[in-house]
Amino acid sequence: MIITLAITLTLALVLGMLAERLRLSSLIGYLLAGIIIAQLWGAHLDHKLVEDFSHVGVVLLLFGVGLHFHFKDLVAVQRLALPTAIISMVMRTLIVAAAAWWVGDSLGLDTVGCIMFGICACVTSTVVLTRVLADNRILQTPAGHTGLGILVVEDIFTIMMLVLMPVLFGDKPLLESLLWMAVKLVLLVICVVYLGRRVIGRVLTSVSRFASGELFTLSVLAFALGIAALSSYVFDASLEFGAFLSGMVVGQSKFAARAASDALPMRDAFAVLFFVSVGMGFDPTTIWQHWALLLATVAVTILGASAVCYITLRLLRAPFRKSVTVAATLTQIGEFSFILASLAASEYGVLPQEAANVITGVAIITITINAACFRFVPRLISALEARGIGLVASTGNEAVPPPTGDRDRVIIVGYGPCGQICTRLLRENDVDAVVVEMNIDTVNRLHREGIPAIHGDACRRSILADAGAAQAISIIITSPAAPAMEIATMARNLNPDIYVMAHTQYLRTAQDLRHELHDGIAVYSGEHEVALTMMSHLLSRQQATADQISRELRRARKLLEDAATPVA
């Protein structure tokens, strides 16, 4: 057992680090680790052990989904996320099922098998999508919120499928099975949500008083696995559904944050074994035997899913930039596809094992392409908007007068504390300052105060044109969360001589801006300025003279800039 776990975790660590180094998802490394282990040590390792641990990983994975599951995330973006998710899943299922029917003859799939194959390929990876959004710093943007809302809908769909699969593919009559399942699920929900909430809350409160991190982690894991076992053996529901319910109960309590920080690292360790187990069960020869179905499913997942999502969002009047960004995040499948395909193949016999292998191959290819290519999406959007694609006529910006020759115009992106100070100082010095702000309430307030303001995304060519970028002498990007590179590039397209001032969060981002725009730019990094301010305060506390402080600050500034400069 120890040898099996040592080889499995070590190779998963090495290949996971390599995948991260290549700016890919670590899931690719875990899957490849499983494939390599099966090929090199398959006859000497305990496959059953890894598979058993992987089941624990699945249970804890669904517990984590329930822990972070909140209907308010869906309600906040329901106008876009709900119809987009439903239409996207339905269309992907139908198109992939049609492809399986057309080119999947060698698998011997019937109608039910083709539909199930399509269902397995219609669910986006939660792990990959959230990681891609976070890595590209758009998780907390409107596009990120819409993507997370779509994830919530897909999570609900996955849980429904896990509940319905025993009924749909069992031996008992369908109507009788549905009614009996509904009764048992209602009882399970009552036990877990109502009775469990009181019990779980009191137990976790008592355990937390011991000030023992080990006991708290143990209690959370006990609830996750215990309720999953209860749902399976007493109520005849799936382990995954019980784990999801227990996660929801803990997530609604005051211990949600601590459970996420203390117990979920254990989930991550077991989840690695789950992905390795999927890789160990993958047969690479399936790729060559069923290459047509593999390529067709990859094409639908990447091109079809993004096209359906983009068209749906545009029909719902979502902005061009948001539509493209959200559509690009849905071009992959992952862990829930593995779970559904594995259950359909091993427990219910709806799919042959070769079909599950095709799903694994599709996931490896689409996750790799999505992680590698998504960082180029903002540049693609900016290039399209620079050519007038996706732009709409601006409305509601009549309060902004055209630039005049007697006053210099400066555009201020963002009206937070920094933007407010810049606007006030510029207006006090008779400079024509125009604010570009995404918050419509702030824009309306500025209009009432007589300050020229435009509601819109500063990355859009039409917004900057309305703000007078072509005649402006400078643009000030005051928010570190704003995509400074895209805004600055668009401003330079309208006015090559415009002077750019930007506030970034990281030193590396500041260096990238300076390298890309070369001259006519001043960038202020939060990391840089905070470090210098703290150092200045520390030196003054040590009774340093003004000359000493100035000299050390110049030296520190040079060290910080050198540290952020990429090595050629």
- pLDDT tens-digit readout, 60-101: 777 877 777 666 666 766 788 889 999 999 999 999 999 889
Q: Where exactly are the structural domains of the chain?
A: 9-40+47-384, 409-564
Which residue intervals of 429-545 are DSSP H helices? 440-448, 461-466, 484-494, 507-517, 526-541
Query: Is the pLDDT score of 380 beyond 90?
Result: no
**Arithmetic mean of pLDDT, 249-268:** 72
Query: Is the pLDDT score of 263 beyond 80?
Result: no
**Arithmetic mean of pLDDT, 155-160:** 84
Q: Which of the two residues, 197 and 423, has the higher pLDDT score? A: 423
Least confident of 83-87, 152-156, 310-314: 152-156
What is residue 563's predicted lDDT score, i.e. its pLDDT?
55
What is residue 43's predicted lDDT score, i.e. its pLDDT?
64
Cβ proximity of 437 and 415 under 8 Å:
yes
Residue closest to 366 by CA, chosen among 452, 274, 437, 304: 304
Neighbours of 336 (CB within 10 A): 27
What is residue 19's predicted lDDT score, i.e. its pLDDT?
87
Residue closest to 280 by CA, chosen among 31, 15, 101, 545: 31
**Arithmetic mean of pLDDT, 539-555:** 83
Cα–Cα distance measured from residue 431 to residue 468, given in angstroms and rounded to the nearest whole number: 14
**Arithmetic mean of pLDDT, 460-476:** 89
Tokens representing residue 150 in the block = 């779509």
Q: Per-residue confidence at 394, pLDDT binned at 50, 70, 90? A: very low
Q: Which of the two residues, 35 and 189, has the higher pLDDT score? A: 35
Residue closest to 33 by CA, chosen among 51, 20, 14, 59: 14
Question: What CATH class is the domain 409-564?
Answer: alpha beta
Tokens representing residue 336 in the block = 């829930």
Q: Per-residue confidence at 1, pLDDT binned at 50, 70, 90? A: low
The structure's pTM equals 0.68
Percentage of the chain beyond pLDDT 70 is 88
Cβ proximity of 407 and 475 under 8 Å:
no
pLDDT tens column, 24-34? 778 888 888 88
Cβ proximity of 359 and 353 under 8 Å:
no
Residue closest to 278 by CA, chosen among 202, 229, 368, 342: 342
**Arithmetic mean of pLDDT, 6-19:** 88
Task: Provide CB contacts within 8 A for 75, sequence distance 6+.
Answer: none
Cβ proximity of 490 and 464 under 8 Å:
yes
Cα–Cα distance measured from residue 119 to residue 123, given in angstroms and rounded to the nearest whole number: 7
pLDDT tens column, 188-208? 777 777 766 678 778 888 887
What is residue 568's predicted lDDT score, i.e. its pLDDT?
40
Q: Per-residue confidence at 268, pLDDT binned at 50, 70, 90? A: confident
Local structure of 500: helix, strand or coil? strand
Query: Is the pLDDT score of 395 beyond 60?
Result: no
Query: Is the pLDDT score of 436 beyond 80?
Result: yes
Q: Which pairing describes strands 409-413 and 474-477: parallel, antiparallel, or unpaired? A: parallel
Query: Is the pLDDT score of 36 beyond 70?
Result: yes
What is residue 132's predicted lDDT score, i.e. its pLDDT?
81
Average per-residue pLDDT for the chain: 81
What is residue 412's predicted lDDT score, i.e. its pLDDT?
95
CA angle (278 as vertex; 54, 302 as ends), nearest 5: 130
What is residue 312's predicted lDDT score, i.e. its pLDDT?
93
Percentage of the chain beyond pLDDT 90 is 15
Cα–Cα distance measured from residue 378 to residue 64, given in angstroms and rounded to the nearest whole number: 30
Please provide the CATH number assigned to the domain covering 9-40+47-384: 1.20.1530.20
Query: Is the pLDDT score of 42 beyond 90?
Result: no
474: part of which helix (H) or strand (E)?
A: strand 474-477
Location of structure tokens 């044109």: 465
Residue closest to 294 by CA, chosen among 100, 153, 146: 100
Query: Is the pLDDT score of 351 beyond 60?
Result: yes
